[in-house]
Structure formats: structure tokens, C-alpha cells
Structure 1
């Protein structure tokens, strides 16, 4: 049974799996007093220290609500990010999804620090991901707890649920919807209908973070390319040496199959 659980865990989409795990582990550690909450909240003055505590840019999105929130918040984060990672054409490349998380998270953080003074932002990110994942699914039905609703209504159902159970979260969630809509406007609506450029195009450094040149991802494992190696037949185990027939040597560059 344990091996089946581990297999299912590692088979999950990597970004969604990583975020949900970070939320669960961080929240359990904080609520059991294993991790001081003072180490993970966001505040501008912490970034201005030497050395700057830059990890807070991420950890401020890792603390769930208490009690049942330790289970529900990682679950909702996983489901929304999984939908973006596996079923959304806007994020065909992993670097595009990573840049989405960075920019939307930045918008949420900025809006909250200016208008609300908050220190943790997970619930804003969850509803932002739900908004982005469901906004183009008009006509599709989705399930929110025990209710079947139109897919694009899911984030607003989340708002209503918070209004009934945790009204203090509603302002943070509203900033999440604003951030997601702003991202959609700058990347899709403005270029398509306003004739302008994509103002949030994925920068090259994010692609470099995701696509490490020396690591070759394969269906059957990972190969490390030595420095200076050519991206030719050597990466497939083939060699265009003297063992090949002369007629093959004149066929040009080969193409790896599979």
C-alpha cells in the first residue's frame, strides 16, 4: 500500500505536487511549533537586510489555515495548479506556468501590502489559480464540494464559502481574482483585442531555470551531458564513426527517434 501511495505521489504533476507538499509541510510545522512563524512571513524590511531573506517571497504563500485548512488548502492548491499544468493551453511550457505563478503572486503580494497589510497570501493564490483554470471553460460543469456549478463560477463559489465560514479571507481572495484578471488582460486580452504586445511575456532567465542545458529529460530517465559535448548522436548512444557504411555517412545529420 505504501509503495502504491508513493507511486501515485511521484506520478502527480511535479509543480502541483511540489506546491501542495510545501503548503502541507510548512503548515504542519508551524501549527505544531516545529517552525517559528516569524521565519516565513513576508515583510519588506526583511528583504532589505544583509543578507536579504529572499525565501520569504515564497514561504508567504505556504501557510494554510488551521485545523481542516491544513488538508483543504493543499488540496485546492493542488487541484487548481494541476489543471493549469496539464490541461491549459496557455501554459504548454513549464516556464510559462512558473512565470505565471511568479507574476500573479507578485501582484497579490503588492496589492495586499499596499491596501491590506497582510503577511501571508496563500488563499489569494489559490483563488487566482482557480480563476485562471476555469475562466475559459464556459459550458463545462464543475464540482465544488457537493454542488455542481458552471466551471467559471468556481472562484466565486469559493468567495461565498469564505464569506460564510472565514469572512476575514474575502479581501485577500478578491486581490487574487484581481491579480489573475490582470495577468489575463496583459497576456491575452490586450494583445488579442487591443493590438498591443504581450506585456508579461516569459523572460529568458525563467526558461533557463526550467530548461537546464546539461540535463536531457527522457521517458526512461535523465542523462547528464558532459561540458562541451555536441547535441548530436552522442546523446543517443549512437556514433557516426568509421563503423558506418560509406553510403550512410553522406546522408546528413541524423534525427533521433522516440
Structure 2
């Protein structure tokens, strides 16, 4: 049973899986007193000290609301971010999803520090991801708790539920919707309808942040990650990527040297 659970965990979309896990583990550690809040909150003066505490740009999104938030925040993050990672036509590559998180997170920090203050912004990011995931599902139905609603209304249902459970979270959630809409405008609406260029195209360095080695050495053997599209194309065109030929080459007959 445990091995099946771990297999399912590792087969989940990697960015959604990693972020949801980070939120869940960090939130439990902070809310139960194992780690201090002071290590994770965001404030500008910590960025301009020496050495700069730049990790706070990310870690302020790792602490959920207390009580039910420890479960619900990672759940909503995983559910909606998985849709962006697997099926959203705007994000064809993993680096596009990662750059989305970076840019929208930056917008949320700027909006909140400018308009509202605050030091933890996960509620805004959760609503932003939900807004983006549901925009391409207009006309479809989606489940929110025990209700079935039009997909594009789900982020607003999240705000309505906060009105009943935690009204103080609503301004943060609104900034999340504003940040997601700003991203959509600069990424899609302006290029498609305004004749401009995509202002939020993922830079090249983001690809290196999610690159993983193809071969992993383990105590019980060696695991080889399945090759990407480029490597697969190389095999079909006859490009060799190692000293051992793949089995499919055995059916190609004897080779001939050119020149």
C-alpha cells in the first residue's frame, strides 16, 4: 500500500506536487511550533540587508491559513496547478508554469505591499491559480465543495466562502485575481488582440531551474529517466546518444560508413 501511494505521488505533476508538498510540510511545522514564522514572512528590508534574504520572495507563499487551511490550501494549489501543468494550452512547457508562478507571485507581493501590507500571501496565489485554470474552461461545470457551478465562477466562490469563514482574507484573494488577470493580459490578450508581443515569455534561465539529470544513481540500482522529445527525435533520425545502441536499431541492418 505504501509503495502504491509513493508511486502515485511521484507520478503526479512535478511542479504542482512540489509546491503543494512544500506548503503542507511548512505549514504543519510553523503552526505546530516546529519552525518559526520569522523565517518565512516577507518584508522589503530583509531583501536589502547583507546578505539579502531573497528566499522570502518564495517562502511567504509556503505558509497556509491555520486549522482547515493546512489541508485546503495545498489541496486547491495542487488541484488547480495540475490543470495548468497538464492541460492548459497557455503553458506547453514546465518552464512556462514555473515562470507563471514567479511572475504572478511577484505581482501579488507588489499589489499587497503597495495597497494592503501583510507578510504572507498564499491566499492570493491560490486564488490566482484557480482564476487562471478556470478561464479556459468557460462553459463547463466544476465542483466547489458540494456544489456544481460554472467553472469561471469558482475563484469567486472561493471569495464567497471566505466571507463566511475568514473575511479578512478577501482583500488578499482579490489581489490574486488582479494579478492573474494582469498576467493573462500581458501574456495572451495584448499579443492576440492588441498586436503587441508576449511580455511575459519565460526567459531561458528558467529552463535550467527545472532540468533534471537523465541518470540517477541509487543504492539498489540505476534509474534512467525517459528521454524528452528532442532525444526521441534523435533516435528516429539515427542520432546516437550513447555507446549502447537501442534495441530498435537491431532491425536496421548493417551500417555503412560515409566518406
Tell me how far 1:236 sits from its aligned partner. 6.8
| Structure 2 residue aligned with 1:6 | 6
Secondary structure of 1:50's aligned partner: coil
| Structure 1 residue aligned with 2:95 | 95
Q: Distance in 1 between matches of 2:132 and 2:242?
A: 38
Tell me how far 1:207 sits from its aligned partner. 2.0
Question: 1:21-64 deviations in whole A, cap 9, x for unaligned?
Answer: 10011000001111000011001111111111111111100111
Tell me how far 1:194 sits from its aligned partner. 0.4
Instruction: Report if the CA contact (8 A) 1:127-1:158 is conserved.
Output: yes
Instruction: Report if the CA contact (8 A) 1:60-1:120 is conserved.
Output: yes
Secondary structure of 1:105's aligned partner: helix
Q: Any runs of at least 4 consecutive aligned residues in structure 1 with deviations exceeding 4 A, and if so which?
A: none
Q: Does 1:204 align with 2:204?
A: yes
Instruction: Report if the CA contact (8 A) 1:61-1:122 is conserved.
Output: yes
Q: Does 1:221 align with 2:228?
A: no
- RMSD of aligned alpha carbons: 2.3
| Structure 2 residue aligned with 1:60 | 60
Q: Distance in 2 between matches of 1:208 and 1:9?
A: 23
Q: Does 1:249 align with 2:243?
A: no
Question: 1:210-256 deviations in whole A, cap 9, x for unaligned?
Answer: 346xx3489x72399xxxxxx8414372399xxx84x5334x9xxxx
Instruction: Report if the CA contact (8 A) 1:217-1:223 is conserved.
Output: no
- After TM superposition, the score normalised by the length of structure 1 is 0.86
Question: 1:155-213 deviations in whole A, cap 9, x for unaligned?
Answer: 0100111111110000000000000000000010000000011111111111232346x
- After TM superposition, the score normalised by the length of structure 2 is 0.86
Secondary structure of 2:124's aligned partner: helix
**How many aligned residue pairs are there?**
238
Instruction: Report if the CA contact (8 A) 1:131-1:154 is conserved.
Output: yes
Please, which runs of 5 or more residues in structure 2 have no aligned partner? 217-222, 228-233
